[in-house]
Amino acid sequence: MTQLLQMLALAAVEEAHAPAAAEAGHQAAQHAGGEHGPAQVLMHHVLDRPFWGLEFPTRHLIFFVIVAVLVLLIARLALRQYDSRRVPRGLGAAVEALVVFIRDDIAEKNIGHDGHKFVSLLCSFFFFILTAALFGLLPYSATSTGNLSVTLALATISFLAQQWGGISKNGVLGHFGHLVPAGMPVFLLPIMIPVEILSMFTKPFALMVRLFANMLAGHMVITALLMLIPLMAQIHVAAGLAIAPVSLLLALFIMMLELLVAFIQAYIFTLLTAIFIGMYVHPAH
C-alpha cells in the first residue's frame, strides 16, 4: 500500500511538472530558432562582426585598411604608367581621366578658382568610396562604407574641409558672418542664427546617412533574395527548386546594379562635398 501511494504521488508530481517542462522546451526551441531566423541571418551578413573569431579587429576595420592600402597602391601604380614623355598608359590613363573629371567638372565648377586646393581631398573621397563599394561585392568580403562609423568619419572630414574653405577665404568673422543673409531684420536673428548653425551640421549628417543607407541597402536586398531559396525549401522542396532560378537572377541583377551604385555614390558624395565647400567659399550676399 505504501509503495502504491508513493507511485501515485510520483506520478502526480511528474504530471504537475509536465506542462512547465513542455513550455520550457518550446521556448528553448523558439530561442534556438530565433538565433538562426531570417532576420538574424540577414543582420549577420550586413552588420559588422568579429574577424575570424577575433573580437578585435572587426571585419569592417580589416577591409577598411585593405581598401585604404589598395587605393594608395593603385595611385602608385598609376604614376608608374607614365612614360618618359609623361603620357599615361593603361591604368594611369584611366586614373588620370577620373582625376581630370573630378578637377574640371566637380572641383572647379562648384568651388571656382580655389577648387584646385581641394582636388586631392575630393579624389581621395571618390576613389576610396568607389573602391570600398566594389571590393565589398567580392565573396567573403565586407563593405566598410556600410559601417556608420566609417561614413561618420568621412562626413566629419568633409565638414572640416567646408569650414576650412570658408575661413581660409573669408576669415573667421567673414565666414560665420555670412551664415545670416545680409539685410535680415534684427528681430529674426534669434531664430535664424540657430537655424543656420543647425544647417551647418545637417550637411555632413546628410552625407553620412546617404552613403551608409545606400551601401547597406544593396547588400540587404541581395541577401534577402538569396534567403528565399532555403525559406521556400522549408515549405516544400519543389518550391525551393522553383524559386532558386528567380532568386539567383534577381540577386545577379542587383549585383550588376550595385556596380553602378558604387560609381554613383562615390560621385554624389564627392559632388556634394564640393558644392558645400563652394557655398562657404563663395557665400551668397
Query: Is residue 27 domain-resident?
Result: no
Is the pLDDT at 8 greater than 50? The verdict is no
Query: Is residue 34 domain-resident?
Result: no
Q: What is the pLDDT of residue 44?
A: 63
Q: What is the pLDDT of residue 41?
A: 64
Query: Is residue 145 domain-resident?
Result: yes
Of these ranges, 3-12, 71-80, 169-178, the one predicted with the greatest mean pLDDT is 71-80
Q: What is the pLDDT of residue 34?
A: 45
Query: Is residue 2 domain-resident?
Result: no
Q: What is the pLDDT of residue 2?
A: 40
Calpha distance 210→171 (Å, rounded): 31
Residue 106: helix, strand or coil by DSSP? helix
Give the model confidence (pLDDT) of 163-173 as tens digits.
999 998 888 88
Query: Is residue 18 domain-resident?
Result: no
Question: Residue 78, exposed/middle/buried by CB under 10 A (0-12, 13-18, 19+)?
Answer: buried
Give the model confidence (pLDDT) of 37-64 as tens digits.
766 766 666 666 777 766 677 888 888 9
Instruction: Name the strand (E) or helix (H) holding 50.
Output: strand 50-51
The mean pLDDT of 93-119, rounded to a whole number, is 91
**Would you say 163 and 280 are in contact if contact means Cβ atoms under 8 Å apart?**
yes
Q: What is the pLDDT of residue 7?
A: 42
Query: Is residue 136 domain-resident?
Result: yes
Instruction: Select the more confidently predicted residue: 18 or 58.
Output: 58
Domain count, the chain: 1
Calpha distance 228→219 (Å, rounded): 15
Residue 285: helix, strand or coil by DSSP? coil
What count of Cα atoms within 13 Å lies in the side-chain half-sphere of residue 6?
A: 3
Q: How many CB atoms lie within 10 A of CB 217?
A: 15
Amino acid at 226: L
Is the pLDDT at 70 greater than 80? The verdict is yes
271 closest CA partner among 73, 164, 123, 146: 123
Residue 62 is part of which domain span? 53-281
Minimum mean pLDDT among 44-58, 67-81, 210-224: which range?
44-58
Q: What is the pLDDT of residue 152?
A: 95
Query: Is residue 10 domain-resident?
Result: no
Is the pLDDT at 4 greater than 50? The verdict is no
Query: Which whole-number Å values give the CA distances from 274 to 24, 116, 187, 202, 271, in the listed order?
Result: 59, 11, 33, 16, 5
